[in-house]
Structure 1
């Protein structure tokens, strides 16, 4: 590698996204890259010429280890949809002008579905204009919904956090008894894919019965049948814990959270902001059943919990970052690094690169046969799939009793 590399982060952060950044940086330097630049706030920041030389911030092995253990996007993220090439050539001319000025040989973009759309469009423009810059996608999303990869870095750590938190919520819910019972509804991220909510099954074990019901968006939600199941459970137990995806929807496609209020915010990719599903269902059950209810939204906690990161996840995130640089150095472009599982026990997984055109704007859903027939739980196949991804721990580097993160001054007062 004789030129420079630039790397960006996009979309929702994870506990492992910075481990991929560390993998990109270390591999690029090891393979001879002159400079490794970091886009500040993804492709949107690059368009405003906001970038840094990562060597000014990552100075030694300790910094690399801190980076791998730091949650959120160290470089800052964005949700920015590039226009279609034929609709706005000027945008692409501007981007490629900046890349040329920085003598960029390869651009690595760490992100999910929408980020792979960015890689697709940039690589297509490079082909149209004869540019020799190479564009590689590095997978990242707690949602685990990227096509052609067994799983995505970030998912394992989020799954570990969810399984642990749900187990603790179950313990707490049985502490007190109420005359008509207690129903706790835990809302977990997942718009159209229920991978994260399915991971709540990890709470189940010899010392915990796990959640009583699990609802994924892959199966339409029937609110009347939901009430009937809650009533049936309350006849035999004093506490009921239910895990739901934020994106569960009725048979006609309406999100349950929209039944209680209007979802007004829509991002650049036309995604509605989903929130309040658990609160709506708790209010509904309280009114219909008359029991005490509690709504819990894990929200950003499930993607920021680096203190519960999976060692497998952090190592694989670092691995795919390095593999992205390697692919670019070997001449690949318009590709995304994928994880290919070879076996469950012992768990073995490797990397390949796949055409990003077959990945961008597609979604990998939980297989229907991994969800029970009535749509209220997940099967053993789901557990077999997810359990290897949460193994091992990554000990935080503690200072004064609190985890230390790598810090980049942002100018914020």
Structure 2
């Protein structure tokens, strides 16, 4: 039945982005305006907040403050990296979630996150259905990595790509200041998919970017990399290279993982925590060339740089949250909101669609090999054409003393 009435819970999960709060605002605003949703709750730190019964009443927030979520980075409700157990082996956590849902008459559950979050969403949806409890579950996509399957792109990627491209243009200008030769190696995020590293190619397309870009979709050969650096250094007196944290050797072993395994850097989902690659490669290049070499890790700035966010990304993130609520109220469940790219009179456009949660959960979308150049050290025009529309537009941000004014929610906790 489409006229299901009850409470909704909105949660955020995984790594934050510059626009995940825009999705939260889209969902919260639409839910507050829906006659089918009697109460709007925010989960503190995602599914962990549900399990611990720590929920905030979004109806108690000032509308003007909620609106500031559009331009507020990070995950305002709090995030988590908590992996639910397999319900077929141990359903205790799911029974606890059901208990909380029954306590607050939760009939709508919206979860905003990436691959692992969609897996969480899918498990909850199946358990509720199996239990006979009427609760509609919709996933809202989010990831700067842009690796969610089933959608043309993900909210968060456009802003991260814009930050990376802009940063590389600025680093490029800085590298030309002195007459002493320099080699700069910049590391981006991206475990298995090279969308973020490839975004540096946007800067190169405009004449002020990296000479070399290495993505995890193509095996990384250290000797070839060193030869590339030496050749360009002799030719130009400077080299600017970009590497994804997830580049692998021919045996499929992460270059960063050598150190990660040694130091046992593993997250709660069992993923190796990569990073530090640029500095390590810089040492090797310095030994080989004798040049002045600097390693730069963009790190968290890629996902929180709201000051240079893409307005297109913000708008689409909001629409994803809005579409999730509208879909659930209309009777949909077990789905994730996705984007379909369209061309209207030669201009970029998009529309939201729904795909089964199973199609997105634990699947990864990688950069097509035909979008990577023959040498495996750059991207083609097809990649640029894909990414460029997603970084467009400058947001109208609220300021205070010329600094960004971010949302400050009261986060009033509810009780049963």
Q: TM-score under structure 1 normalisation? A: 0.96
Corresponding position of 1:256 = 255
Contact 1:311/1:393 (8 A) holds in 2: yes
Residue by residue over 1:25-45, the C-alpha shift from the partner in whole angstroms, topping out at 9 and shown as x without a partner, is: 111112122111000000012
Which stretches in structure 1 are left out of the alignment for 5+ residues?
none
Distance 1:351 1:271 in 2: 30
Distance 1:213 1:406 in 2: 39
Partners of 2:7 and 2:48 in 1: CA distance? 20
SS in 2 for 1:288: helix
- Aligned residue pairs total 406
In the alignment, which residue of structure 2 is the partner of 1:73?
Answer: 75
Q: Equivalent residue of 1:147, what SS?
A: coil
* 2:349 corresponds to: 348
SS in structure 1 at match of 2:235: coil
Does residue 50 (structure 1) correspond to residue 29 (structure 2)? The answer is: no
Alignment of 1:4-403 (within 5 A): 4-32=7-35, 33-57=37-61, 59-60=62-63, 62-178=64-180, 181-206=181-206, 208-259=207-258, 262-343=262-343, 345-403=346-404
Q: Distance in 1 between matches of 2:411 and 2:134?
A: 33
Q: What secondary structure, in the 3-state scheme, does the structure 2 residue paired with 1:118 have?
A: helix
Q: Is the 8 A contact 1:260 1:280 kept in 2?
A: no
Deviation at 1:409, TM superposition (A): 6.1
Structure 1: distance between partners of 2:153 and 2:196: 12
Contact 2:188 2:244 in 1 (8 A): yes
C-alpha contact 1:279 1:295 (8 A) present in aligned 2? yes
- Dislocated runs of 4+, deviation >3 Å: 258-261, 408-411
Please list the CA deviations of residues 310-335 of structure 1 after superposition, one character each: whole Å capped at 9, or x if unmatched.
01000000001010001111111110
CA contact (8 A) 2:173 2:208 kept: no
User: Offset at 1:131?
Assistant: 1.2
In structure 2, relative to structure 1, the CA distance for the partners of 1:409 and 1:287 (3 Å cut) is farther
| Cα distance per residue 1:74-104 (max 9 Å; x no partner) | 0000001111111112211111100111111
Separation in structure 2 between the aligned mates of residue 258 and residue 83 of structure 1, nearest angstrom: 26
Cα 1:410–1:97 change in 2 (3 A) is: closer
| Corresponding position of 2:6 | 3
Q: Distance in 2 between matches of 1:241 and 1:374?
A: 16
Partners of 1:290 and 1:259 in 2: CA distance: 24
Measure the CA separation in 2 of the matches of 1:92 and 1:258: 34
Compute the displacement of 1:166 (Å).
0.6
- Consecutive unaligned residues in structure 2, runs of 5 or more: none
CA contact 1:371–1:377 (8 Å) conserved in 2: yes
- Cα shift at 1:130: 1.0
2:111 and 2:147 map into 1 onto residues whose CA distance is 17
Task: Report the alpha carbon displacement of residue 259 of structure 1 after superposing the two structures with TM.
Answer: 4.1
Q: CA deviation at 1:132?
A: 0.7
3-state DSSP of counterpart to 1:5: strand
Structure 1 distance, partners of 2:116, 2:256, is: 24
Could you tell me the TM-score, scaled by structure 2's length? 0.95
- The answer (yes or no) to whether the contact 2:144–2:157 under 8 Å persists in 1 is yes
| Residue 64 (structure 1) shift | 3.1
For residue 129 of structure 1, report the CA deviation from its aligned partner: 1.0
Give the C-alpha shift of residue 209 in structure 1.
3.7
Question: What per-residue deviation string (whole Å, max 9, x for no partner) do you get for residues 172-230 of structure 1?
Answer: 0110122xx21100000000000011001121355x34210000000010000001111
Deviation sequence 1:100-145 (CA, Å, 0-9, x none): 1111110000000000001110011012111110110000000000
Farther-moved stretch of structure 1 (289-298 vs 62-71): 62-71
Q: 2:40 & 2:310 partners in 1: Cα distance?
A: 27
Contact 1:307–1:395 at 8 Å: present in 2 too?
no
Contact 2:22 2:318 in 1 (8 A): yes
Q: 1:77 to 1:343 in 2, by over 3 A?
A: same
Tell me the distance in 2 between the aligned counterparts of 1:105 and 1:47.
16
